[in-house]
Amino acid sequence: MKPKGAIFDLDGTLVDSMYIWDWVPGELIRQLGGNPPEDLAQALTELSREEAAEYLIGRFHLTQTPEEILQAVNDLVSGAYRNTVPMKPGADVLLARLHQAGIPCGIATASEAFQAQDAMERLGLWKYFQFAISSGEYGSKSRPDIYLEAAHRLGGEPGEILVFEDALHAARTASAAGFLVAGVYDPSAQAEQQALQKLCRWYLPRLDEPGFLQQLQDME
C-alpha cells in the first residue's frame, strides 16, 4: 500500500543541526549570568520549547518571561538555519523519490516552523513540502498531537502515514499512535540507536538507504 503522506522531523533528520541545540541552552544561561551544567541540553530533550523555557526560568531563577527566553533562543539559532546548517546525507534523494511516487510531505519540528522553512528554502528542498508545523503550537513530541495534525493536513490516518524521526522518544510517540515510523541515524543519539532500530519499522543509516528507496518504488 502506498502511504498517503510523510512527516519529517527537522533537527537530526533533515538537517545536521543537533549541535545547535547542544550549545544553545548553556550559551543562553551563560549570557544571562548563570553557570549551566554540562548535561543541561540533555535535560531539555523531551520538552517543548515553552516547557524548556519554564524549566530554565525555574531552575536558574531567571527574571525573564518565557516569551523573552524563547525570543533569546530564536535570536541565537535562526541565523544558523537561514545560513549554515547542512542537509543530512541523502535527504534530497529521498524527498525526490517521495515526490516521484506522489507522496506529499510535511515537517513537524520542535524548532520554529519558519526556521524549518528557512533551512529548506536555502537547501532547495522546500518545494517538496506542503507545510511546516512546530511543537510550539501543538505540544512536545512526548504526545502525538503534532503528528495527528500533520496527518490531518496530509489527508491520511496514522496507519497510512510515514514518520521520519531521529529521536527515540519522538519515534516512540509516533509508533504508539499507529504511524509507520522510520528511525533515522544521527550521531547525537548514538546511545539510542539499538533501541531505535528495534522500535521502528525501518532503520535508516542514511535517508537514501537503497533498500528503503526500493521499497518506496515497489509501493508505487
pLDDT digits (tens, 9 = 90+) for 164-206: 999 999 999 999 999 999 999 999 888 999 999 999 999 999 9
R_g of the chain computed on alpha carbons: 17
CATH of the domain at 45: 1.10.150
**Amino acid present at 205:** P
pLDDT digits (tens, 9 = 90+) for 41-71: 888 877 887 889 999 999 999 999 999 999 9
Domain check: are 76 and 106 in the same one? no
Would you state the torsion angle of the CA atoms of residues 75, 124, 139, 23, taken in this order, to the nearest 10 degrees? -40
State the first-to-last Cα distance of the chain, in angstroms, to the nearest integer. Answer: 8
Residues 38 and 125 in one domain: no
Which three cell numbers, joined as nine digits, stand for 158?
496514522
Tell whether 145 and 38 lie within a shared domain. no
Q: What is the predicted pLDDT for the residue at 195?
A: 97
Total domains in the fold of the chain: 2
Say yes or no: 71 and 111 in one domain: no
Q: How many CB atoms neighbour CB 108 within 10 A?
A: 30
CATH (domain of 126): 3.40.50.1000
Residue 77, pLDDT > 90, answer: no
- pLDDT tens digits for range 78-95: 888 999 999 999 999 999
> What is the per-residue pLDDT for 109?
96
Sequence-separated (6 or more) residues with CB below 8 Å from residue 220:
2, 100, 101, 102
Q: Are residues 183 and 95 in the same domain?
A: yes
On the CB side of 12, how many CA atoms lie within 13 Å of its CA? 25
Q: If you average pLDDT over every residue of the chain, what do you get? A: 93
**Distances from the Cα of 123 to the Cαs of 30, 85, 120, 130, 185, in angstroms?**
32, 9, 5, 16, 20
pLDDT recorded at residue 56: 95
Residues 109 and 24 in one domain: no
Residue 116 main-chain phi, psi, to 5 deg: -60, -45
pLDDT higher than 90, residue 74: no
pLDDT at 220 over 80: no
Q: Are residues 56 and 158 in the same domain?
A: no
Domain extent for 167:
5-17+87-219
Residues 6+ apart with CB under 8 A from 203: 182, 183, 185, 196, 197
